[in-house]
Amino acid sequence: MSEIAGPAAAALASLSPDDVLFLQALPKAELHAHLNGSIPIKTLLELAQQHSPTQSSEVADTLQKLKSGAVLDEIDDFFSLMPAIYALTSTPEAVTTATRAVLQSFLNPTGDGTGSPQCAYLELRTTPRATAHMTQERYLTAVLDEVEFYPATQAALIVSVDRRMSDLDVEECVSLAIEMKNRGRRVVGVDVCGDPRKGDMQSFTQHLLRVKGAGLGLTVHIAECTENTTEDSLALLSCRPDRLGHTTFLSDELKALIRLIPCVEICLSSNILGKLVASLDTHHIHYYLKNNHPIVICTDDALPFRTSCLGEYSLLLAQPPLGLGLSRGDVTRIARMGMDAAFSRPCD
Ligand code: 6MZ
C-alpha cells in the first residue's frame, strides 16, 4: 500500500492506537475503486522504468505530480493525469502487473502487524481499453485473470463504460461484459464513469437497460459536478441502477427519487481533494446518515487522492474537524452496509 496523505492521513494520525486496531479489524468492502486510479506509486514507477527509452515529458511530469501529491484545482486536473498512466498500462503485460499490484494492495495483509488486509472484499472496476498492443477483450482478460486468482468471496470485477464513448463503443463494452459473465468470468456489474461533463446519457440508456437483464449489477456515477443536469441524472436513474457513485450535486427533488436505490458509494477524500465538496462538514454523507440511507465508504482513486480504506474509515471515526466523530457502533453499521451492497454477495 502506498503512503497516505492529506485529510485521510490527518484523521488517521489523530486516532488512538486502539481506534486504529478497531478499524483495521473491521471487515470492509471496497466497491468503488478504479483500477488505473489505484495503482501503487511504486508499481507505476517500475512500469515507467521499463518504459524509459520512450517515456514522454508528459509521463515524467505526471509521475512527478503523483509522487509529490497532485494538486487538483479543477476537474480537468484529475482527468489530465490519466493519459500518462494509460501510456504506462498500454500492453497486456503492464495491465497484468498493474492489476496484480492493485489487488495485492487491497487484499493482501498490509504489513501493519495485524495481518488484516485493507478490505475484506473488493469490487474493482475498469474500462476495457484497446491499444496498439491489445484489444478490449485482451485487456479485460488480463484483468480478470488476476482478479480470479483470489476467491470469489474476496474479489470481483465491474466493467466501466466511459461517458466519452461513442454509442457503438458503449454497446460493444456492455456486450463484452455480458459475454464475459456468460463465459463464467467474474464480471459482476457495469459502471458508468468518466468526465461527468461529457456524453449524452439519454443515448446510453438503451445499452444500460441490457445490463440488469443479463444478471449484472449496475452502478452509475451521477450528479458528480455542477454541470450535470437533472435530465442527465434522470436518464441514468431510468436504468434502475443498484448503486450510485458520488451523488454530489443531486437536487432535493432527485434525492427523493433515490430513496429506493440500495446504496450510495461515498468517496470522501476524492470529493474534498477534487474540490467538489468544500469540507467534511458540508459533505452529502450527512444527508444519507440522517436519512438512514445505505452507503459504502470507498477510495475512488487511491493513487492521486493518496488514501486507503483505513484512511477513509478514519475520516468517519476521527473527531471534528478532522473527521465526522461517529461512534464505533455507527462505523461498524456503515461497514456492514457496504458488505451488504456488494453485487456478488460475499459469503464466508
Ligand atoms: C468519474 C472517474 C473518476 O477505468 O481506466 N474515473 N470517472 N469520476 C471520477 N472521480 C474522480 N475516477 C476515475 O480507471 C481510470 C478511469 O476511471 C474513471 C475515468 O474514466 C478514468 O479514466 P480505469 O481503470
Count Cβ atoms below 10 Å from residue 86 Cβ, excluding itself: 15
Query: What average pLDDT does range 22-31 have in this prediction?
Result: 97
What is the domain count for the chain?
A: 1
The domain containing residue 133 runs over which residues? 6-340
Residues known to be catalytic: 224
Query: What average pLDDT does range 115-142 have in this prediction?
Result: 96
Distance 348 CA to ligand 1 centre (A): 30
The answer, yes or no, to whether residue 294 has pLDDT greater than 60, is yes
Q: For the chain, how are helix, strand and coil distributed in percent, rounded to 5?
A: 50, 15, 35
Handedness of CA 13, 18, 19, 22 (dihedral sign): positive
DSSP-derived letter for residue 109 is B
Q: Which atom of ligand 1 is nearest to the CA of 270?
A: 11
Q: Which atom of ligand 1 is nearest to the CA of 89?
A: 5
- Kindly state the percentage of the chain with pLDDT values over 70: 97
Query: What average pLDDT does range 198-205 have in this prediction?
Result: 96
Closest Cα to atom 6 of ligand 1: 194
Q: What is the pLDDT of residues 87-109, one digit of tens each?
A: 999 999 999 999 999 999 999 98
Distance 52 CA to ligand 1 centre (A): 25
- 90 within domain boundaries: yes
Distance 328 CA to ligand 1 centre (A): 31
- pLDDT score for 44: 96
Q: Which atom of ligand 1 is nearest to the CA of 305?
A: 11
- 345 within domain boundaries: no
- pLDDT score for 56: 80
Burial of 333 (0-12, 13-18, 19+ CB in 10 A): middle
Distance (Å, rounded) from C-alpha 200 to C-alpha 229?
11
Closest Cα to atom 19 of ligand 1: 194
Q: CB–CB of 279/258 below 8 Å?
A: no
Closest Cα to atom 1 of ligand 1: 194
- 348 within domain boundaries: no
- pLDDT score for 74: 86
Q: CB–CB of 223/247 below 8 Å?
A: yes
Residue 244 pairs in a beta bridge with: 220, 264
Look at 147 and 114; give whichever has higher pLDDT. Answer: 147
Q: Which atom of ligand 1 is nearest to the CA of 245?
A: 8
**Residue 330 pLDDT level (bands cut at 50, 70, 90):** very high
CA 164 to chain centre: 18
Residue with cell 512527478: 64
- pLDDT score for 70: 83
Q: Is the peptide bond before 53 cis (omega within 30 degrees of 0)?
A: no
- pLDDT score for 317: 98
- pLDDT score for 51: 74
Query: What average pLDDT does range 259-264 have in this prediction?
Result: 93
Query: What average pLDDT does range 30-35 have in this prediction?
Result: 98
Q: CB–CB of 204/174 below 8 Å?
A: no
- pLDDT score for 193: 98
- 108 within domain boundaries: yes
Closest Cα to atom 17 of ligand 1: 34
Query: What average pLDDT does range 270-292 have in this prediction?
Result: 95
Determine which of 157-166, 258-267, 309-318, 339-348 has the lowest per-residue pLDDT on average.
339-348
Q: What is the pLDDT of residues 48-88, one digit of tens each?
A: 988 765 668 889 899 999 998 888 888 899 999 999 999 99
Query: What average pLDDT does range 303-327 have in this prediction?
Result: 97
Q: Which three cell numbers stand for residue 342?
A: 456488494
Closest Cα to atom 18 of ligand 1: 194
Q: Which three cell numbers stand for residue 123?
A: 469490487
- 237 within domain boundaries: yes
Q: 3-state SS of 202-256? A: HHHHHHHHHHHHCCCEEEEEECCCCCCCHHHHHHHHCCCCCEEEECCCCCHHHHH
- Kindly state the percentage of the chain with pLDDT values over 90: 87
- pLDDT score for 167: 95
Look at 203 and 260; give whichever has higher pLDDT. Answer: 203
User: 3-state DSSP call for residue 307?
Assistant: coil
Closest Cα to atom 2 of ligand 1: 194
Distance 279 CA to ligand 1 centre (A): 22
Count Cβ atoms below 10 Å from residue 262 Cβ, excluding itself: 15
Query: Which of 193, 232, 247, 305 should be mutated for ligand 1, with most atoms under 8 A from CB?
Result: 193
Distance 82 CA to ligand 1 centre (A): 8
- CATH code of the domain containing 209: 3.20.20.140
Task: Give the strand order in the sheet containing 243-246.
Answer: 29-34, 121-126, 155-162, 187-193, 217-222, 243-246, 263-266, 295-297
- 162 within domain boundaries: yes
- pLDDT score for 2: 63
Distance 4 CA to ligand 1 centre (A): 19
Distance (Å, rounded) from C-alpha 302 to C-alpha 25?
20
- pLDDT score for 66: 93
Q: CB–CB of 28/313 below 8 Å?
A: yes
- 302 within domain boundaries: yes
- pLDDT score for 1: 54
The strand ranges marked E within the chain are 29-34, 121-126, 155-162, 187-193, 217-222, 243-246, 263-266, 295-297
Burial of 168 (0-12, 13-18, 19+ CB in 10 A): exposed
The answer, yes or no, to whether residue 347 has pLDDT greater than 60, is no
**What residue ranges line ligand 1, CB within 6 angstroms?**
34-37, 78, 82, 126-127, 160, 162, 193-194, 221, 224, 270, 274, 300-301
Q: What is the pLDDT of residues 140-172, one digit of tens each?
A: 999 999 999 999 999 999 999 999 999 999 999
